[in-house]
Chains A and B, each alone.
Chain A
Amino acid sequence: DAGVIQSPRHEVTEMGQEVTLRCKPISGHDYLFWYRQTMMRGLELLIYFNNNVPIDDSGMPEDRFSAKMPNASFSTLKIQPSEPRDSAVYFCASSLAHGGNYGYTFGSGTRLTVV
């Protein structure tokens, strides 16, 4: 199993541009999570999906952020327009199921820099 695959690994963009981050979860995992990590705020859960349906997006910071999961093997996190304060590492994770007895598998992350 290749694990959770994220692309790109690094993204540098100018303020105001649209940014799309991509994630391929582990096959068979029903849950997909998007996290953001910054020095100031640590790891924050942005949104998670169950069977391609968004369940909780309370962590999404603003309307500029949107996430989709068109099928079981692909999800995107879009920022439009991007701002310098969006600079962070964005992680995608997937889980076989949810609840206390299941762990998450994380991808390697996308380091986003907005200049």
Chain B
Amino acid sequence: DAKTTQPTSMDCAEGRAANLPCNHSTISGNEYVYWYRQIHSQGPQYIIHGLKNNETNEMASLIITEDRKSSTLILPHATLRDTAVYYCIVRRSGANSKLTFGKGITLSVRP
């Protein structure tokens, strides 16, 4: 699976949009981009995933560049409860692909 690169940390103000970047320059055509988050003392939580097209659900939006070498997770109106470690993961579509977590980015939402 392709590697991902994320900043170590970032912060944003409550109520504003949080834009979390991720680089995956070696991504292959059959690899998905996944985002999970882990709030302190909880298990990782699935947020969203995509292959080529931009995706949106009730939690977030995922913007994937046309060349698929980078993506951005957007939390449109961040709240204090969105403070967490966010993991960007690239994963193959095959049956034996694993979900491998890196270090992620720590998002701190300030009041």
Residues of A participating in the B interface, judged by any CB pair closer than 8 Å: 4, 33, 42-43, 45, 48, 55-56, 91, 93, 98-101, 103-109
Contact = CB atoms under 8 A, between A and B. Distances in A.
A106 B99 CA distance: 12
B13 to A, nearest CB: 28
Interface string B89-102: 00111111111111
Contacts of A103: 34, 36, 46, 49
Interface stretch (B17-25, B37-45, B66-74): B37-45
5 contacts: A45-B98, A99-B93, A100-B91, A103-B36, A109-B42
B44 A106 contact: yes
B20 to A, nearest CB: 18
B101 A104 contact: no
Given A45-B99, A103-B49, 8 more contacts: A42-B103, A48-B98, A55-B96, A91-B43, A98-B95, A101-B51, A106-B45, A109-B42
A101 B94 CA distance: 9
Contacts of A109: 42-43
